[in-house]
A and B are shown apart, each in its own frame.
Chain A
Amino acid sequence: MSVFANETGAEILKAVRAPEFIFPTLLMPCAFYALFAIVLSNSGSNATYLLATYGVFAVMGPSIFGFGVGVSTERERGWLQLKRAGPAPAYAYIGAKLVTTLLFVMLALIPVYLIAGFAGGVALARGTWFALFAIHLAATVPFVLIGINLGFTLGSSGAVAISNIVFLGLAVLGGLWFPVFAFPSAMQTLATFTPSFHLAELALAVVGAPGERTSSTNALTISIMTLSLLVLSLWTWSRQKQ
């Protein structure tokens, strides 16, 4: 435990000492949410709908960048090799990164929720707020796995570029910025292949947004996607050892 605690402490310290890296991923979601749901919305009636989708967006940043770019940089500099040679077990390395990511995910969600509740007029039952938070927090897992896979397979400069593409692609295609129903039908089909779409649908179901959706299908799809990503990341991890 103390190994894990120390490792996580170091991760947090690292993030705080290099704020230029983590701050954009915390600020962008709430800035975008404030812009599209509050400032540019003439009716204000979108605030609840967009809270569900921008919450998923807020989770994506720390998850994908924390892992994707972070891991690839450390791998390239030989830090990962050093870690494996050191006494701390592998789970401590990944675990510390995961816990740090979860903490930053919460820090990213808090301002979005506050803007929604106190500037956007979003009022949800207490249980619904918690359920929404649970969905958003759980959304960390598939995105972290995407980040791990990127980090283990790409060089550091490549990871920055590809992470950005994946990040923006998942955000737009998954309907996190604009509702999927506003897309042409080909893009709507494409959306169903993104984890962000299914997570957003689950979050929308929680807040009771208008529209028909089948949450069981969304939950099943996201579970299969997550499992596949997990298997893939175990494989890329095992390749590191060789």
Chain B
Amino acid sequence: MLAKIFYNSVIGIIILMLTVLMLLPTPADLATVGQQNNNSKSLLIKNASVFNGEEALARQDIEIRDGLIQQIGSDLVVSDAETIDAHGKTLIPGLIDAHTHSFANALGATVKFGVTTHIDMFSHPSILTPEKEKRVSVAQSSEADLFSAGMLATIEGGHGTQFGIQVDTINSPDQAKQWVARRAQEGSDFIKIVYMPYSSHFKSIDRATAAAIIDAAHEIGLQALAHVSSQRAARELLEHDVDGLVHIFADKKVSDEFIKLAQSSNVFVIPTLAVIASAANESLGMRLADDPLIKPFLAPDQYQQLQSGYGDQKIPGFELSIALHNVKKLHQAGVTILAGSDAANPGTAYGASVHQELRLLRRAGLSPKEALRAATMSVADTFNLTDRGRIEVGMKADLVLLNANPLTDIIATRDIYTIFKNGQEIEREPNSKQSLANDIVDPNLSAFEDGLTSPSAFAWSKTDDTMAGGQSSASIALGNKHLSVNVTVDPKFMFPWAGAGAFTQDAVNISPYSRLTFRVRGTNGRYRVMVFSGAQTGAPPSQSVEVSDTWSTITLELENFRGLDVGNFYGLAIVAGPEQGEFKYQLDDVKLLP
């Protein structure tokens, strides 16, 4: 009897276990569910002018079904199809941004600007597997698809390690094979290398390591792309057969020797002029943010990011005129140029900045057609994306229908009638007006007479760049009716800061006020005032101020804080940096003026 219990239990439970294991869902099951949701009714776009990724075609009908382009031709007849009359409109392939960092809501934000694919140059490897499944699916989606380098190759403390993502760093050539193998295992679509041996801000892997990574990538059939910021670094990697440069260098005008090398090595270049313009403090992002064709579709954080850029500073080594010149020369020499925005860096926004990049490529001498190819067919060809980048039968129905013809003026890419992702229209409602917070109760932001909290509930504390991975430090103390601040600014972070800030829990509306004033004295030098507002995630808007060792009153116009959302203000900081050193200063009477 006992033996029977034993056999029955063992067999019963094992069968139960195996049944459960066989029934548990797999990714394929989920994909099938997605496919079933797809609408297999046809959609017919009639009489559109078409740019098919390569050339212009006059008056075409395009049939879309099951997420794919089914037919292209004149006077197509499809029974029971929904029809869009596209007479006078231009149909182009969904745009591909060839250089992004697709964090948070990137893929949803970008698609609202007709960008249906991102080529990501550094993201956490955990996103790779799910995105691979998503991009082969033709099920309804309101997000762009993603191809990505995943983890980037950089040395400990190098560029790429400052963003708070834990980085698998690499220090020597003998680690290259294993490092690349780990990327392949994680699902990287290509390899991205940060090589900036001549940077004063960042440490970098050495030339031998970069060469070893390129070789290891080629050995297993992956392309190796490089982030470089100088012509010298770029030339060195071209000699080691790097496949592409993900920025144009803007430090020096391109030499004839470099152009020859670029031609013979068949390298491609993603200039990312939009972000170079932002680093060069050209304020193009501000203008883009207020473009009536762009602004209504920008999320609040993206709008602020375009407005604020890198603050009011110009970063050395970035000259837009040199960048434009270099792109022009390389393009004339026949080097493949691809459109990439480098969003979401300061001064750029997902999707929106691609339209600016196209305009900048135009300024660099590409014809409208060549600029459009740089965001469609050329990217697809370069990255072997065989299902997109063109309007052809069998391709994914990722399409943008424009009100005007971008082959006449490239700015028409912003004038979007509608967008299709996987054959389904993207809902594209303009953002409703942003709500205002409550009015600030008292314009006095400091009351250092009796504590660190102001009458309007702003609490003062120290603030420094350790929160962003830097090593500056600050301490604050209540002095005799003022605030004393002692800081050490350490140059290890690219934009170091340390000082004192005042923050409030709930944002307040400060729109009745137009100026910020405070009294200060301290170590002679340039300081910065930063303001925090709205949904800002990137670098906060800031203004520079001069401080001396006698008390002086400083007054700043709020409108000069580019990107400040006065309806939702929640903090400010008065800090030393980016110049390094030790600073002691005292603050008093921080308040807003009408």
Q: Identify the A interface with B (CB < 8 A).
A: 2, 5-10, 12-13, 99, 103, 106-107, 109-110, 113-114, 116-118, 122-126, 129-130, 133, 208-212
CB distance from B342 to the nearest CB of A (A): 24
A9 and B26 contacting across the interface, CB-CB below 8 Å: no
B13 and A5 contacting across the interface, CB-CB below 8 Å: no
Question: How many Å lie between the Cα of A126 and that of B17 in the bound state?
Answer: 14
Interface segment, one of B122-130, B232-240, B537-545? B122-130
Q: Which of B1-52 contact A (CB under 8 A)?
A: 1-7, 9-10, 13-14, 16-17, 20-27, 29-30
In the assembled complex, 16 residue pairs joining A and B whose CB atoms fall closer than 8 Å, in A order, are A5-B3, A8-B2, A9-B6, A12-B9, A13-B2, A106-B14, A107-B13, A110-B17, A113-B21, A114-B24, A124-B26, A125-B26, A129-B24, A133-B21, A210-B124, A212-B166
A9-B129 contact given A117-B24, A133-B21, A210-B124, CB 8 Å threshold: no
B381 adjacent to chain A (CB < 8 Å): no
Question: How many Å lie between the Cα of A103 and that of B8 in the bound state?
Answer: 12
Of B1, B9, B24, B126, the contact of A210 (CB 8 Å cutoff)? B126
B427 adjacent to chain A (CB < 8 Å): no
CB distance from B408 to the nearest CB of A (A): 46
B24 and A125 contacting across the interface, CB-CB below 8 Å: no
B25 and A126 contacting across the interface, CB-CB below 8 Å: no
Residues from chain A with a CB closer than 8 A to the CB of B26 are 123-126, 129
Question: How many Å lie between the Cα of A8 and that of B8 in the bound state?
Answer: 11
Residues from chain A with a CB closer than 8 A to the CB of B10 are 8, 99, 103
Residues from chain B with a CB closer than 8 A to the CB of A208 are 129
Question: How many Å lie between the Cα of A83 and that of B30 in the bound state?
Answer: 53
Residues from chain B with a CB closer than 8 A to the CB of A10 are 2
Of B5, B166, B168, the contact of A12 (CB 8 Å cutoff)? B5
A129 and B3 contacting across the interface, CB-CB below 8 Å: no
> A113-B20, A126-B21, A133-B21 are known contacts; what are 7 more A-B pairs with Cβ within 8 Å?
A12-B6, A13-B2, A107-B13, A109-B17, A130-B21, A208-B129, A209-B126
Question: How many Å lie between the Cα of A210 and that of B5 in the bound state?
Answer: 43
Closest partner residue, chain B, to A132 (CB atom): B21
Of B9, B25, B125, B166, the contact of A122 (CB 8 Å cutoff)? B25
A133-B2 contact given A123-B27, A123-B29, A212-B166, CB 8 Å threshold: no
Question: How many Å lie between the Cα of A129 and that of B22 in the bound state?
Answer: 9
Residues from chain B with a CB closer than 8 A to the CB of A130 are 21
CB distance from A112 to the nearest CB of B (A): 10
A126-B126 contact given A6-B2, A13-B2, CB 8 Å threshold: no
Of B2, B13, B21, B25, the contact of A9 (CB 8 Å cutoff)? B2
CB distance from A30 to the nearest CB of B (A): 13
Residues from chain B with a CB closer than 8 A to the CB of A99 are 6, 10
Of A5, A107, A124, the contact of B2 (CB 8 Å cutoff)? A5
Question: How many Å lie between the Cα of A48 and that of B338 in the bound state?
Answer: 38
Q: Which of B74-131 contact A (CB under 8 A)?
A: 124-126, 129
Q: B7, B24, B125: which has the most chain A beta carbons within 10 Å?
A: B24
Of A2, A8, A103, A123, the contact of B25 (CB 8 Å cutoff)? A123
Of B3, B27, B126, the contact of A6 (CB 8 Å cutoff)? B3
Residues from chain B with a CB closer than 8 A to the CB of A118 are 25
Residues from chain A with a CB closer than 8 A to the CB of B16 are 106, 110
Q: Identify the B interface with A (CB < 8 A).
A: 1-7, 9-10, 13-14, 16-17, 20-27, 29-30, 124-126, 129, 166, 168
A114 and B20 contacting across the interface, CB-CB below 8 Å: yes
Report the 6 A-B pairs with minimum CB-CB distance, sorted nearest first.
A9-B2, A210-B126, A9-B6, A9-B5, A5-B3, A117-B24
Closest partner residue, chain B, to A103 (CB atom): B13
A212 and B5 contacting across the interface, CB-CB below 8 Å: no
CB distance from A188 to the nearest CB of B (A): 14
Residues from chain B with a CB closer than 8 A to the CB of A13 are 2, 5
Question: How many Å lie between the Cα of A100 and that of B13 in the bound state?
Answer: 11
A6 and B21 contacting across the interface, CB-CB below 8 Å: no
B1 and A113 contacting across the interface, CB-CB below 8 Å: no
CB distance from A192 to the nearest CB of B (A): 18
CB distance from B163 to the nearest CB of A (A): 16
Question: How many Å lie between the Cα of A223 and that of B297 in the bound state?
Answer: 57
Question: How many Å lie between the Cα of A211 and that of B182 in the bound state?
Answer: 12
Closest partner residue, chain A, to B133 (CB atom): A123
Closest partner residue, chain A, to B21 (CB atom): A129
Question: How many Å lie between the Cα of A187 and that of B7 in the bound state?
Answer: 44
A117 and B25 contacting across the interface, CB-CB below 8 Å: yes
CB distance from A86 to the nearest CB of B (A): 14
Question: How many Å lie between the Cα of A109 and that of B16 in the bound state?
Answer: 11
Closest partner residue, chain A, to B5 (CB atom): A9
Residues from chain B with a CB closer than 8 A to the CB of A117 are 23-25
Residues from chain B with a CB closer than 8 A to the CB of A126 are 21-22, 26
Closest partner residue, chain B, to A106 (CB atom): B17
CB distance from A194 to the nearest CB of B (A): 23
A106-B13 contact given A113-B20, A123-B29, CB 8 Å threshold: yes
Closest partner residue, chain A, to B168 (CB atom): A212
Closest partner residue, chain A, to B27 (CB atom): A123
Q: B17, B30, B126: which has the most chain A beta carbons within 10 Å?
A: B17
Of A103, A113, A114, A210, the contact of B125 (CB 8 Å cutoff)? A210
Residues from chain A with a CB closer than 8 A to the CB of B25 are 117-118, 122-123
Residues from chain A with a CB closer than 8 A to the CB of B166 are 211-212
Residues from chain A with a CB closer than 8 A to the CB of B20 are 110, 113-114
Question: How many Å lie between the Cα of A58 and that of B2 in the bound state?
Answer: 27
Question: How many Å lie between the Cα of A124 and that of B20 in the bound state?
Answer: 13
Closest partner residue, chain B, to A181 (CB atom): B166
Residues from chain A with a CB closer than 8 A to the CB of B17 are 106, 109-110, 133
Residues from chain B with a CB closer than 8 A to the CB of A12 are 5-6, 9
Closest partner residue, chain A, to B167 (CB atom): A212
Of B7, B14, B21, B29, the contact of A5 (CB 8 Å cutoff)? B7
A8-B6 contact given A123-B26, A210-B126, CB 8 Å threshold: yes
Closest partner residue, chain B, to A104 (CB atom): B13
CB distance from B5 to the nearest CB of A (A): 4
Question: How many Å lie between the Cα of A126 and that of B20 in the bound state?
Answer: 11
B24 and A113 contacting across the interface, CB-CB below 8 Å: yes
Question: How many Å lie between the Cα of A26 and that of B26 in the bound state?
Answer: 25
Residues from chain A with a CB closer than 8 A to the CB of B2 are 5-10, 13
Closest partner residue, chain B, to A2 (CB atom): B3
Question: How many Å lie between the Cα of A135 and that of B40 in the bound state?
Answer: 43
Closest partner residue, chain A, to B7 (CB atom): A5
CB distance from A81 to the nearest CB of B (A): 21
Question: How many Å lie between the Cα of A99 and that of B3 in the bound state?
Answer: 13
Closest partner residue, chain A, to B1 (CB atom): A9
